[in-house]
């Protein structure tokens, strides 16, 4: 699906900044291209598109690699995140039509840079994502890229620029009806309220578990980070 089509409900698509989108739709090969074959029907040659299994496999592999990189970021494993990100990025070579995948890769690159304590590299990656999304006419991706850019600017010690960037992200997200994209860019009081709600949910789950499983649940790196952050 493409968020550039007019009238398309932009927020109905699953988005992966923790888990990037695993499915997209691609145009069929053009008539007469190497991706089609002729079939004789009633004396007339008709062109039938062949399924491009290699392209589908490459896209699935990209999604898997980028997903693993994002998961590694969530677990604080910078080394694994960098390995998976570079393997995913290598699959982008020669893919001029993969603007969406390139934007997503830049999001994860910004996250990996922040994990490694390099906000300058994160700003560069996020700014590149903004430019690519704008050039692709994808406003939803622009809003999310601005969110990454604002966070990177905060970490880089540029709060004034970050405030303006996050305001742009929130305004665009709300205009598009993508409320989840707008939540992280709101004021600290609202963010604190959402954090408290998430922590309460973790405790509620823990209270319903047997003691051994409860300890294991609370010891998970992602849960521990949420409770201690």
Looking up tokens 């990454």 gives 148
Please indicate whether residue 168 or residue 1 has the higher confidence score (pLDDT): 168
* Whole-number pLDDT of residue 101: 96
* Whole-number pLDDT of residue 193: 61
* Whole-number pLDDT of residue 168: 87
Looking up tokens 């002729």 gives 38
Which of 8, 113, 1, 95 minimizes the C-alpha distance to 55? Answer: 95
Position 75 pLDDT exceeds 60: yes
Q: Which of 10-19, 45-54, 182-191, 199-208 has the lowest mean pLDDT?
A: 10-19
* Whole-number pLDDT of residue 128: 97
pLDDT in tens, 151-199: 899 889 888 888 888 888 888 887 887 755 655 655 555 556 656 666 7
Position 218 pLDDT exceeds 60: yes
Please indicate whether residue 11 or residue 51 has the higher confidence score (pLDDT): 51
- Separation CA 137–CA 135 (nearest Å): 6
| Element spanning 47, H or E | strand 44-49
pLDDT in tens, 105-131: 999 999 999 999 999 999 999 999 999
* Whole-number pLDDT of residue 83: 97
What does the mean pLDDT of the chain come to?
75
Q: Which of 2-11, 66-75, 174-183, 195-204 has the lowest mean pLDDT?
A: 2-11
* Whole-number pLDDT of residue 194: 58
Which of 82, 59, 58 minimizes the C-alpha distance to 70? Answer: 82
| Element spanning 49, H or E | strand 44-49
Which range scores top for mean pLDDT: 28-32, 94-98, 184-188, 225-229? 94-98
User: Which pTM value belongs to this model?
Assistant: 0.59
Average pLDDT over residues 80-93: 96
Which of 178, 229, 154, 219 minimizes the C-alpha distance to 199? Answer: 229
Average pLDDT over residues 67-80: 94
């Amino acid at each position: 699906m493409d968020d550039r089509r007019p009238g398309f409900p932009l927020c109905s698509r699953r988005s992966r900044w923790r888990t990037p989108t695993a499915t997209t739709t691609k145009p069929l090969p053009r008539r007469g291209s190497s991706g089609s074959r002729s079939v004789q029907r009633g004396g007339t040659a008709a062109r039938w598109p062949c399924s491009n299994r290699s392209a589908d496999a490459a896209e699935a592999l990209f999604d898997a690699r980028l997903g693993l990189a994002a998961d590694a970021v969530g677990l604080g494993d910078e080394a694994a995140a960098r390995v998976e990100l570079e393997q995913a990025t290598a699959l982008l070579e020669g893919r001029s039509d993969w603007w969406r995948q390139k934007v997503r890769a830049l999001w994860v690159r910004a996250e990996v840079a922040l994990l490694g304590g390099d906000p300058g590299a994160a700003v560069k990656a996020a700014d590149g994502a903004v430019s690519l999304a704008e050039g692709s006419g994808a406003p939803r991706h622009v809003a999310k890229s601005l969110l990454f850019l604002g966070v990177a600017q905060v970490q880089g010690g540029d709060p004034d620029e970050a405030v303006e960037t996050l305001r742009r992200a929130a305004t665009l997200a709300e205009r598009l009806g993508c409320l989840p994209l707008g939540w992280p860019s709101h004021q600290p009081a609202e963010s604190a309220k959402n954090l408290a709600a998430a922590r309460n949910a973790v405790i509620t789950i823990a209270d319903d578990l047997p003691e051994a499983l409860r300890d294991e649940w609370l010891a998970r790196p992602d849960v521990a980070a949420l409770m201690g952050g």
